[in-house]
Amino acid sequence: MGPDQYIRLSQLTGQIQETIHSRFKGQTYWVVADITNHSFKADKKIHYFELVEKSEKGSVITAKIMGKSWGAGALKILDFENSTGQRFTNNLHVLVQVSVDFHPLYGLSVNLLDIDSNFMLGILEQQRNATLARLVRDNDFIHKEGEGYSTLNSRLKLPAIIQRVAVISSSSSAGNEDFRHTMQHNDFGYVFQIDDYHTVVQGDNNAKLFLNKLIEVYNTGIPYDAVVIARGGGSQSDFLIFDNYNIGRAVAKFPIPVITGIGHQKNVSITDLMAHTHTKTPTKAAEFIIAHNRSFEQHILSLQRTIAIKSQQLFLGHYKELSEIKNLVSHNAWELIVTKKEGLMLQKQHISQASRNLLAEKKQHLLLTAQKALQRPQSIIQQENSNLQHLKTNLKIFTSQYLRSRRLQLEDHHKTIKLLSPQNVLSRGYAMIRKNNKIVNGAGSIKEGEEIEIVTKDAVMKSTVNEKIEYDGKHTDL
């Protein structure tokens, strides 16, 4: 091959650059593609990425080109992130305006000039609507009602008073602190018991962690009055977790009323729609609970005032009737007193006459008794004297017999005592044993080798026990 049959690489890339420049100069294109291999050089404020197109099934890449964005393009990306709340990163399906560029060193690429925020918002809204449709289609406890949704959770009745609350939030959430501060420093002095269940509350990939925490609340068996999901503000992507199908379904079916205070100012999440009550912020959730309890208190106070008013009305309504009854009772009592007074007068006269008759009758009876008494004393005295003489004779006879009997008994006792006296017993040949000057009744207290005294009728003998033989008292050879 001769020297005129080849060119330098720079010549070739230069021709390619010139051709592409002349073909695409001044032209821009709106392209739908996915972002991959994204990186951002913060010091230079340059984005590097790849735009790819995938097959319908999403498994095969059918087109790919390098991309970059700086200057005005980077500012457009920043506007996109601010308006959508979605960070410009990998796996985004975007509509971008690009220009074609070729560099001899870096090759073919596109420059991102603009990005359509509405396209991204439309995709998120489509995904959200598809999730809502699936929730209604696959779960018979979720129903679409007008612009809202009726769920098993939203149909629960809140307790008359909310006191014990489970709060699912991030451990570092400022929103949780706002909720707790509002609850604990309410103007009415209400006291709440708040149990924290900390978890990750952002990022759709953390939905499983959040769902496990909701299950943990249920498994505790604690009779919570309500469950509060609290989260402060953030970007649109931070709230994608609350559009998750599984979380929405779990909240819709949860047997304890769920109150959301997610802090999403722009839209209402799927979790909000499935919950019993949704509020804009954790502070608003706390204010809702306090207002709920205040409403109950005001209802009780209203009932108290109503009872007081009704009682006064009832009292005034019956006051006249009571006055009439009082007058009637007084009049009837007076008539009754007059009637009873006349009856009492007649009774008094009757008692007086009956008393006089009874006294006259008793007086006559006493006179007759007195006459009989005057006639009987002498005969009674004679009879009693006769009785006394008879008693005197009997007493003498009894006394003589009693004394004779006692004398004979004493003589028998004297003989018995004399017969049983120690002197008489000793004189019959018996002896008495003493130990330490005390009479010994048996051999149990005497041991071999001890000194004893043997007392007979005419002597006291001192002896030492050499041997002790047990004796049962039944032998007759003594």
pLDDT tens digits, one per residue of 12-26: 998 999 999 999 999
**Whether 170 and 239 share a structural domain:** yes
What is the SS3 assignment for 223? Answer: coil
Chain mean position to CA 138 = 37
Task: Give the pLDDT confidence score for residue 279 in this predicted structure.
Answer: 93
Q: Do 289 and 182 share a domain, yes or no?
A: yes
228 contacts 285 by C-beta, under 8 angstroms: yes
Distances (CA, A) of 326 to 313, 314, 329, 340, 441: 20, 18, 5, 21, 99
Are the CB atoms for 179 and 282 separated by under 8 Å?
Answer: yes
Domain range for 430 = 425-464
Q: Do both 111 and 151 map to the same domain?
A: no
Q: Do residues 175 and 57 share a domain?
A: no
Residues, the chain, total?
478
Q: Look at the chain and report how many structural domains it folds into.
A: 3
Question: Is 214 within 8 Å of 241 (Cβ atoms)?
Answer: no
| Domain boundary residue, one of 238, 273, 296 | 296
Torsions phi, psi of 226, nearest 5? Answer: -160, 155
234 and 107 assigned to the same domain: no
121 pLDDT more than 90: no
Does residue 111 sit in the same domain as residue 207?
no
Helix axes 245-253, 207-219, angle to 10 degrees: 20
Q: What backbone phi and psi angles, to 5 degrees, belong to 327?
A: -65, -40
The residue among 296, 319, 335 that closes a domain is: 296
Same-domain check for residues 170 and 270: yes
Q: Which residue has the higher pLDDT, 358 or 290?
A: 290
Which one of 269, 296, 323 terminates a domain? 296
β-partners of residue 112 are: 98
* DSSP state, residue 473: S
Digit-coded pLDDT (tens) for 152-201? 999 999 999 999 999 998 887 788 899 999 999 999 999 999 999 998 77
